[in-house]
Amino acid sequence: MAVLEQTAVLTDAIRPVPASELEARLEKFRRLMDEMHPGWEMAAVNHKVAMYYFTGTMQEGVLLIRPQDAIFWVRRNYERAVNESHFGDIRPMHSFREAASYYGSAPRIMYVETKKATLDWERMLHKYFAFEEVGSFDAVLQELRLRKSAYELQQMERSGAIHETVLDVIAPKLIHAGISEAQLAIEL
C-alpha cells in the first residue's frame, strides 16, 4: 500500500504548461526569427516535441506562427488539445486546405523544422500553401531551448525528484530474486 501512496504523490501534480510560459516562448521565437530571418512571414511547426514546447500538447496538426499571430490547427483530438493546453488560439481542421484558405496567400518562404520535417510532410504542406521555398528555423529552436526559463528549471527539478523517488524508494521494494526485467518494468 505504501508504494501505491507514493505513486499517487508522483502523479497527482500533472499540470498543463502555463499560458504565460507558452506566450513567452512564442515571443522569444518571434524575436529570434526577426534577428536570424529578417522579413520572415510564416513558420510551420509539426514535430511533436516542438509542438509540445509551443502549445503544451502533442495533438496532430500544424502550428502556424506569423509575426502577428499563432494558430494551432488540430486535425485529430481537438477536444483533447483544448483540455490539455493553455495555448491562446486552437482551431479544428479536417484538412490543411482549411488552414490555407484562412490565410489566403502563402509566404514566399515557409520556415519549418528541417531536421524533423519529412519530405512527404513538406510536399503536403506545399500542396496547400504554395510557397516558393523552404527555410529552416532549426537554429532558432536550438537557441531558444538553450536557455531555460524558471518554469523549465522547476520542471527539471520536479522530474529529478520523481526519478529519485522511483529509483531510491519504489524500485528497491519491487526488486526481488526471480523477478524478470519485464515484470519489474510493468510494476514500475
pTM of the predicted model, to two decimals?
Answer: 0.81
DSSP character at residue 18: P
CATH number attached to the domain at 19-146? 3.40.350.10
pLDDT per residue rounded down to tens, the chain (188 residues): 454 555 554 555 567 899 999 999 999 999 999 999 999 999 999 999 999 999 999 999 999 999 999 999 999 899 999 999 999 999 999 989 999 999 988 999 999 999 999 999 999 999 999 999 999 999 999 999 898 887 777 878 888 888 888 888 888 888 888 889 898 888 87
Contact 109, 36 (CB under 8 A): no
- Where do the structural domains in the chain lie, given as residue ranges? 19-146, 149-187
Instruction: Compute the half-sphere exposure of residue 168: CA atoms within 13 Å on the CB side of its CA.
Output: 6
